[in-house]
Amino acid sequence: MGGFFSDTFLTALLFGAVTAAIPLLLAGLGEQMSEKAGVLNIGIEGMMITGAYIGFVGAYYSGSFWIGFIAGAAGGMAVATLMALLCVRFGLNQIVIGIALTLGLEGLTALLHHFQFSRSYPRLPAAEVTPIPLLSDIPVLGPALFRHHLIVYLAVAMVGVMIWVYKRTQFGLNLQAAGDKPAALDVAGIDVIRTRTVAVLFTGGMAGIGGAYLANVGAGLFIPFITNGAGFLGIVLAMLARGRPVWVLVGALIFGGCLSMTTAAQVAGIRIPTDVIQMLPFLAVMAMLVLFGRRAGLPAALGIPYERGAR
Amino acid sequence: MTEQTQAGPAIVSLEGVTKRFPGIVANDRVDLEIRAGEVHVLLGENGAGKSTLISMLSGLQQPDDGRILIDGVEMPIRSPSHALSLGIGTVFQHNMLVPTLTVAENLALGGRWWQRPRIAELKARVAEIARPLGIEINLGARVSELSLGEQQQVEIVRALLRDSRLLILDEATSMLTPKGIAELGALMRRLVERGLAVVFITHKLGEAADFGDRVSVLKLGRKVGEITSERLRMLERAALVDEIVAMMFGRQAGADVISIPPRAANDDALLEVRELCVAETSDAPGLDRISFAIGHGEILGIAGIDGNGQKQLAEALAGQRPADSGNVLLAGKALDGLDVGGRRRQGLRYLTDDRLGEGTVGTFPVSINYFLKQIGEPPLWRSGMERTREIDARASELTRRYDVRTPGISTPVGRLSGGNIQKVLIARELADGARAVIFNKPTYGLDLANTLATRQRVRDIAGQGLAVLLISTDLEELLSMCHRIAVISQGRLVGIVSNGDGAGERVGRLMIGLAA
C-alpha cells in the first residue's frame, strides 16, 4: 500500500502512460499526414482494429513480434487502399466512408476472432524488453521510460522523422499544398491524387502498427473492439497538433497518462471509483480542445475531394 | 501602341479544336496560332469560351475534337505537368499559390519528391530571371502576405523558372489596380522581346488594343475574327477598337451610347436626403451631412473613387446601416424610423453590388430568389406554408418579362451568369410598388451586352417616373445616362454637376479634389 507519490505508483503510472501513449502516437502521426494532405481519415479506427487483428495473427503464428508489426502495417494499409480508392480516387464523402470502414471492420474482426480464437483465447508471451543502458537504471524514471520494446523507441523517433519530412523534403511541401490548395499543386505538375493516396497509405500503415502494438505488446492477445476509440483519439491529436509532430507526442503522453491512471491507481491501491478515472481521457480531450482547439487552424481543403478543373 | 516585334514561328497551333460540356459547346472548331515574340490577345465576353481554351492548353482538359500542334507536331497535352514539360506555363485567373507557404516554397513545388527543396539555388535563378524584368520578389515572405499584383508576379516568375516558352495569362488584369495593369503590360512587352510567346486573355477591349500584337476574338465558343500583327500596326487605336467591337457584336456600335431619358418638368422631390450622417468605422468611411433630392423620373449619379462612402450611403438609405442623424424622405414621408422591410414596403428599393453574396442565395432556385424579401408573407406563403404553384407562376412571368436566361426557374441562381443574376435582382426589386431605386455599381463585372442591357433597364425605370440613385465608379456610365452627377469624396458630397457639355471634366476635377 502506498500513497499517490510512492515509487511503485509513479513507475506504474509512467510505464502505463508510455504503453498507452504509443498506439495514440502512431495513430496521431499517421492521421496528421492524411490531414496535412487534405484527407480527413475517419477510417483510421478501422485501420487500427484491422492492424490489431492481422498483427496478432501474424505474431501468434510466426512467434515473432516483428512479423506481427509488419503484418499489422500491411493490414492497416490494405484498409487504407480501399479508403484511398473510394475517397481520394473516386471522391466519395470521407466521413461516410470512414465511418462505414470503421464499423464494418470492427464487426469483421470480431467475427473472425470468434471463429478462430474464441475457444482458446491464446495469449502471446510478454514482449521482450530492450532496456537502454545507463538510463534504465535511473530510479522511478528508468523502469518507467527506458524498459520498453524496441518499437516504442522507434515510434518516438518517428516524431523526428516526420519533422524532417515536413520541414526539409519536397514531399512535405507537396503534402501541405495538397491540403491547403490542391489546384496549385496540380498545376505545378504534381499529381494530387497520388500525393493524397500516399498520405492515406502511410496513415494506414502507422495505424496498423499502432493496432498491432495495442494487441501484441499492450494486451498480449486480441479481443474484439480492442482499439476502443484509440484511432479517434488519434484524430483528435492530429487536429489539435495541426502540422506539428511534437504536439502529437505531447498530446499522446497526456492521454496515455489519463488512460494508465486506472491501472496505476489499482496497483497503488488508491480508492477512487474506476468509473471516475475512466472518464479522465475524455475530460482531457475536452480540456485540450478548450485550451488549444481554437488555435488549431486546419488545412483549407480538408475533407474536400479534389477534382481537376472543377470550379 | 505596340512596338515593332519580329514574330517568330508558331510554337503552338490549334486546329479545329472543339470542346463540349453538357448542354453547351464551349469551343467550336477553334483555330489559333501562337507565335514566339508576340502577345496574342484572346478577347471575348464572359462565356465566350476563353477559359475552356486555356484549360486545354494547360492540360487540365482534353479537346473532344481537333488537334493541338507543338512546334508543328501533333501533341495531345495530357496533364498539367505535361504542359509544363512542353514549355507552356499558365498564370490562372484565380491564383495558384499555396497561401500558407512562403514564396520560395511555392516556387519549389513541383520538384521530385525525393529531392530537398533547393532554396539556395532557387534564389540565384530567381534573381537572374526577375531582375531584367524589373520584378522584385521577397522569397521569404508568406504568400498570404503579398498583394494580388505581387502574387501574380511570383506566378509569372514561376512559369519562367520552368523554362516556359509560352506564357498564358488568364484574365490577369481583373484584380489589378490601373498602375498594376500598366506594369503588367510593360512586363509582357519585355517578355516577348526575349522571344517568348504570351497569350493574354481579357474581356476588356482597351487592354487588347494596348497590349496585343495579334488579337483573336471569341464569341459563344467560336473564333469570329483575328487581327494580325501587320494590320494591328497599321490601324489607329480608334479604328482598331471599332473593328473589334464590330467583330464582337456584329454591328458598328460604340459602347457608351449617350441617352438620357426625357423627364417632365416636375421638380417635386421624390426621394430627399437631408444632412445624413453615419459614424466612421474601423474599415469604412462615415458619411458627413449628405443632402440631395431626386425628382420624379430623375437619375442622380454618384461619382467617386471606390471606397469613399458609396456603399455606406446606399446601405444607410436602404436601412441596412443605422444613421446617426439626418432624414430620408420618400414623397415627403419620413423613413427614418423604418427598418429594411418597412422602407421596402414604402417603395424604396436597393440593388446591391454584391449580387451573389448579399443579393441572392446562390443555392436557392431562381424562383425563390425572386421572392426572398417576401418569404412568409401572403399571398405566396399562407400560414407558414409555401404555395409552390403561385410562386412558380409568378416566377415564370418575371423570368419572361425580365428576359432572365436560365435553364429553368428551379435552377440554383448561383449557376447563372452575372448578367442574369442581375436581372433576377432587378425583377425582384422593381416588382410591386417601387418608387425610388438605388443601384450600386449595377454593371460591375458584367460583359458588354449585359452592361448595355442593364443601362437601358435603368433608363426605362426612370422613364416610368421613378427616382433613381445610380452609384458607379465608371464615369462614362454616369455621363451616358444621368441627369445630374454628384461627387462623393471621403463621405462628403463635394459637388453636384448637371450633365451636359463639359460635365465630364467638371466631375473629374471634383473627383481628384479640385473645385469644378
Query: Of residues B220 and B422, which shows the higher confidence score?
Result: B422
In a domain, A28, yes or no: yes
What lies within 8 Å, CB to CB, of B473 at 6+ separation is B303, B304, B305, B306, B310, B441, B444
| Range with top average pLDDT, A154-158, A277-281, B243-247 | A154-158
Q: The pTM is what?
A: 0.69
Q: What is the pLDDT of residue B473?
A: 77
d(Cα A185, Cα A172) in Å, to the nearest integer?
12
Q: Which residue range is the domain that position A232 belongs to?
A: 7-115+145-295
Q: Residue A260: give its domain's CATH number.
A: 1.10.3470
Is the pLDDT at A279 greater than 90? The verdict is: no
Considering chain B, what percentage of its residues have pLDDT values greater than 70? Answer: 91
Pairing of strands B65-70, B73-74: antiparallel
CB B311 within 8 A of CB B278: no
| φ/ψ of residue A275, rounded to 5 | -60, -40
DSSP helix/strand/coil, B107: helix
CA distance A104 to chain B (A): 35
Peptide bond into B262 cis (omega under 30): no
Query: Do the chains contact at A180 and B117, CB–CB below 8 Å?
Result: no
Give the Cα separation of B299 and B4 in Å (integer): 46
Of B312, B240, B296, B321, whose CA–CA distance to B437 is shortest? B296
Q: Taking each helix axis from N to C terminus, what angle separates A192-212 and A170-180, rounded to the nearest 10 degrees?
A: 100
Residue A188: phi and psi, rounded to 5, are -80, 0
A112 inside 8 A of chain B by CB: no
Return the pLDDT at A202: 97
Chain A: residue whose CA lies nearest to B56: A309
For B59, the closest chain A residue by CA position comes to A187
> Exposed, middle or buried by CB within 10 Å (0-12, 13-18, 19+), for B33?
buried
Q: Distance of CA B452 to CAs A252, B70, B405, B420, B480, Å? A: 64, 40, 16, 13, 11
A307: in domain:
no
- A178 → chain B, closest CA residue: B98
Q: Using an 8 Å Cβ cutoff, are B127 and B133 in contact?
A: no
Average pLDDT, chain B: 83
Residue B410 has a pLDDT of 85
Q: Chain B: nearest CA to A169, how far in angstroms? A: 5
Residue of chain B whose alpha carbon sits nearest to that of A308: B60
Residue A122, Ramachandran bin (φ over 0: left; ψ between -120 and 50: alpha; else beta): beta
- Is residue B20 packed enough to be buried (19+ CB in 10 Å), middle (13-18) or exposed (0-12)? middle
pLDDT tens for A106-124 read 999 999 999 988 888 888 8
With an 8 Å Cβ cutoff, are A181 and B109 in contact? Answer: no
Higher local confidence (pLDDT), A6 or B437: B437
Looking at the domain assignment, is residue A15 inside a domain?
yes
The shortest CB-CB distance from B113 to any of A171, A180, A300 is to A171
- Best probe of the B interface among A166, A173, A197, by most B CBs < 10 A, is A173
Beta-carbon count within 10 A of A273 CB:
8
Q: Give chain A's domain count.
A: 1
Q: Give the pLDDT confidence score for residue B4 in this predicted structure.
A: 46
CA distance B54 to A273: 68
A50 falls within a domain = yes
Please give the pLDDT value at position A268: 67
Q: Is the pLDDT of residue B297 over 80?
A: yes
Which position has the grid cell 444621368? B482
Distance between CA atoms of residues B175 and B227, nearest Å: 27
Judge contact between B173 and B20, C-beta under 8 A.
no
pLDDT in tens, B444-463: 767 677 788 888 889 988 98
Out of B97, B109, B116, name the one closest to residue A190 (CB): B109
Which residue among A168, A183, A189 places its CB closest to the CB of B110?
A: A189
Contact in structure between B68 and B17 (CB atoms under 8 Å): yes
Question: Is the model's pLDDT at A200 over the cut of 50?
Answer: yes
Q: What is the mean pLDDT of residues A12-17?
A: 86
Q: Which of B46, B109, B169 to mutate to test the interface with A (most CBs of A within 10 A)?
A: B109
Say what the pLDDT of residue A273 is. 78
Angle between helices A150-168 and A245-268 (to 10 degrees): 160
Average pLDDT over residues B354-367: 81
d(CA B197, CA B38): 5
pLDDT for position B24: 60
- B109 at interface of A, judged by CB pairs closer than 8 A: yes
What integer pLDDT is reported at residue B253 of this predicted model?
A: 40
The full set of domains in chain B, from first to last, is 10-93+161-249 (3.40.50.300), 267-347+434-516 (3.40.50.300), 360-432 (no CATH)
Q: Does residue A140 lie within any of the structural domains?
A: no
Mapping DSSP to helix (H, G, I), strand (E, B) and coil, where does residue B479 land? helix
Whether A170 and B114 lie within 8 Å, measured CB to CB: yes
Across the interface, whether the CB atoms of A177 and B117 are under 8 A apart is answered no
Question: Between residues 87 and 106 of chain B, which touch chain A (CB distance below 8 Å)?
Answer: 90, 92, 96-101, 105-106
- CB proximity list for B378: less than 8 A, separation 6 or greater: none
Bridge partner list, B381: B386
CA distance A272 to A269: 9
User: Contacts of residue B96 in chain A, CB cutoff 8 Å?
Assistant: 181, 183-184, 187-188
Closest CA to A4 of A264, A200, A210: A264
Quote the pLDDT of residue B512.
64
State whether A173 and B85 contact (CB < 8 Å).
no
A187 → chain B, closest CA residue: B80
Contact B90 A187 (CB under 8 A): yes
- The C-alpha torsion from A86 through A88 and A91 to A95, rounded to 10°, is 70
B96-151: per-residue pLDDT in tens?
899 889 999 898 887 776 677 777 788 888 888 888 777 888 888 999 888 877 88
Show which of residues 172-211 on chain A sit within 8 Å of chain B, judged by CB atoms: 173-174, 176-177, 180-181, 183-191
Closest C-alpha to B199, from B109, B106, B76, B87:
B87
Q: B116 and A170 in contact by Cβ < 8 A? A: yes
Q: Provide, as residue numbers in chain B, all residues whose Cβ is less than 8 Å from the Cβ of A191.
A: 79, 81
Quick one: average pLDDT of A212-237? 91
Task: Evaluate whether residue A84 is within a structural domain.
Answer: yes
- B/e letters for A230-249, b = 16+ CB within 10 Å, e = fewer, are bbbbbbbbbbbbbbebebbb
Decide if B219 contacts B47 (C-beta within 8 A).
Answer: no
Least confidently predicted of A1-15, A87-101, A133-147, A217-231: A1-15
* Whole-angstrom distance, CA of residue A104 vs CA of residue A46: 8
Calculate mean pLDDT across residues B155-184: 84
Residues A24-66 pLDDT 10s: 999 999 999 999 999 999 999 999 999 999 999 999 999 899 9
Residue with cell 525525393: B114
Query: What is residue B252's predicted lDDT score, i.e. its pLDDT?
Result: 37
What phi and psi values does residue B126 have, to the nearest 5 degrees? -65, -45
pLDDT tens digits, B363-402: 888 888 888 877 777 778 787 788 888 888 888 888 888 8
End-to-end CA distance of chain B: 32
Q: Which three cell numbers stand for residue A157?
A: 523517433
First and final C-alpha spacing in chain A: 67
Residues from chain A contacting residue B79 (CB–CB below 8 Å) = 189, 191
C-alpha cell at B119: 532554396
User: Closest-CA residue in chain A for B100?
Assistant: A180
Q: Looking at the domain assignment, is residue A19 inside a domain?
A: yes
Interface touch B111/A187, C-beta < 8 Å: no
B508 confidence band (pLDDT: 50, 70, 90): confident
Give the pLDDT confidence score for residue A66 in this predicted structure: 95
pLDDT of residue B22: 56
Of the candidates A176, A186, A309, the beta carbon closest to that of B100 is on A176
Greater pLDDT, B476 or B497: B497
From chain A, the residues in CB contact with B92 under 8 A are 187
Which residues of chain A make contact with B90, given a CB cutoff of 8 A?
187
Residue A277 has pLDDT above 80, yes or no: no
What's the pLDDT at B120? 79
3-state DSSP of B128-191: HHHHHHCCCCCCCCEHHHCCHHHHHHHHHHHHHHCCCCEEEEECCCCCCCHHHHHHHHHHHHHH
Cα-based distances in Å from B407 to B5, B48, B365, B404, B429? 46, 18, 11, 9, 22
Partner residue facing B109 (CB), from A168, A185, A308 = A185
Q: Closest partner residue to B112 among A168, A170, A177, by Cβ?
A: A170
> How far B117 CA lies from chain A's nearest CA (Å)?
5
With contacts defined as CB-CB under 8 Å, which chain A residues touch B110? 185, 188-190
Shortest Cα distance from B410 to chain A (angstroms)? Answer: 21
Question: What pLDDT, on a 0 to 100 scale, did the predictor assign at position A2?
Answer: 47
Give the nearest partner residue to A190 out of B96, B105, B110, using CB atoms: B110
Answer whether B247's CB lies under 8 Å from B217's CB.
Answer: yes
Helix (H) or strand (E) holding B14, with range, is: strand B10-21
Please give, one letter per residue, the 3-state secondary structure of B199-253.
EEEECCHHHHHHHCCEEEEEECCEEEEEECHHHHHHCCHHHHHHHHHHHHHCCCC
Q: Is the pLDDT of residue B38 over 50?
A: yes
Which residue from B96, B113, B116 is facing A187, i.e. has the nearest CB? B96
Give me the residue from A170, A173, A186 closest to B80, CB to CB: A186
Closest listed residue to residue B95, CA positions, set B144, B134, B136, B62:
B144
What is the secondary structure of B292-320 as a DSSP string?
EEEETT-EEEEE--TTSSHHHHHHHHHTS
A51-60, B54-63, B88-97, B312-321: least confidently modelled range: B88-97
CB contact under 8 A, A188 and B116: no
Cβ separation B114–A173 shorter than 8 A = no
CA distance B480 to B303: 13
Query: Does A187 sit within 8 Å of B101, measured CB to CB?
Result: no
Contact B114 A189 (CB under 8 A): no
Q: Identify the pLDDT of residue B1.
A: 39
| Predicted confidence (pLDDT) per residue in B214-265, tens digit | 999 887 788 888 888 888 888 887 788 778 777 765 543 444 567 777 776 6
B61 contacts on A by Cβ (under 8 Å): 309
* Residue B266 in this model has a pLDDT that exceeds 60: yes
Chain A with chain B: Cβ pairs closer than 8 A: 77
The answer to the question of residue A83 being in a domain is: yes
Measured between beta carbons, which residues in chain B are less than 8 angstroms from residue A173?
Answer: 101, 105, 108-109, 117
Among residues B352, B276, B283, B288, the alpha carbon closest in space to that of B314 is found at B352
* Closest Cα in chain B, distance from residue A191 (Å): 8
User: Which chain B residues are closer than 8 Å to A189 by Cβ?
Assistant: 79-81, 84-85, 110
Query: Of residues B223 and B354, which shows the higher confidence score?
Result: B223
The β-bridge partners of B337 are none
Biggest CA-to-CA distance, chain A? 68
Residue A127 reports pLDDT greater than 90: no
Share of chain B above pLDDT 90, in %: 21
Contacts of B389 (CB under 8 A, 6+ apart): none
Cell of B265: 418638368
d(CA A173, CA B109): 7
